[in-house]
Amino acid sequence: MSVQERKQRERAERERLIVATARELAERQGWEAVTTRRLAERIEYSQPVLYSHFRGKREIIGAVALEGAAELAAAVRAATAAADGPRERVAALARAYLDFAAHNPAVYDALFQLDGGLAYAREDTPEPLKDAFAALLESLGDVAGDGVHPALFTEVFWACLHGVATLTRAGRMRPEDAEQRVKLLVDRFAVV
């Protein structure tokens, strides 16, 4: 291995460490606790080293969001792959999405609540974000109904899931009704 390759590998490892540490800190204490000073202390590098990877917290949030988008896409695809039929895929998608939001609140916030400097719904949208949307579209396109554009249907269904996830996390909805909400979404949205 050349010196150049070793340096690139070490740089990539440092970047992964920064992102993992930021994510861990945010999941435990909230994004307010994530500062470049605290991250530098935790990873045992100087702040200038951290800034050589990310210009600031905003870019770190963006990196966590991209990582989270890939994880969300994988979770949705794994859940829907095991489902039998379009309605069951929609229910599995909804459960996987809501579970992801509940179990990864800081990542979910990085994806959908905080400014990570990422472009959404544009040509320059990063691939992990496009792929997360594609993972939803793969299951929802079959149930959009006649005359309804599958991507538009997916956006509306996603907005409903986001609302349920956000209101549930905020304690505005009764947790014991979670499965009834999924059933209602599937019954009202899945035209098969």
Report pLDDT digits (tens) over 40-85: 999 999 999 999 999 999 999 999 999 999 999 999 999 999 999 9
What's the pLDDT score for residue 192? Answer: 63
What's the pLDDT score for residue 151? Answer: 96
Joined together, the tokens standing for residue 23 give 């994510």
Asked whether the CA dihedral 88, 89, 94, 99 is positive or negative, the reply is positive
Which residues 6+ apart lie within 8 Å of 54 measured at CB? 18, 60, 63
Position 3 confidence tier, pLDDT thresholds 50, 70, 90: confident
3-state helix, strand, coil in the chain (%, to 5): 75, 0, 25
Report yes or no: 128 and 66 within 8 Å, Cβ to Cβ. yes
Q: What is the pTM of this model?
A: 0.93
d(CA 109, CA 120): 15
Query: What mean pLDDT do residues 25-37 have?
Result: 96
What's the pLDDT score for residue 6? Answer: 87
Joined together, the tokens standing for residue 110 give 């990085």
Asked whether the CA dihedral 42, 15, 110, 35 is positive or negative, the reply is positive
Buried b (16+ CB within 10 A) or exposed e, 11-29: eeebbebbbebbbebbbee
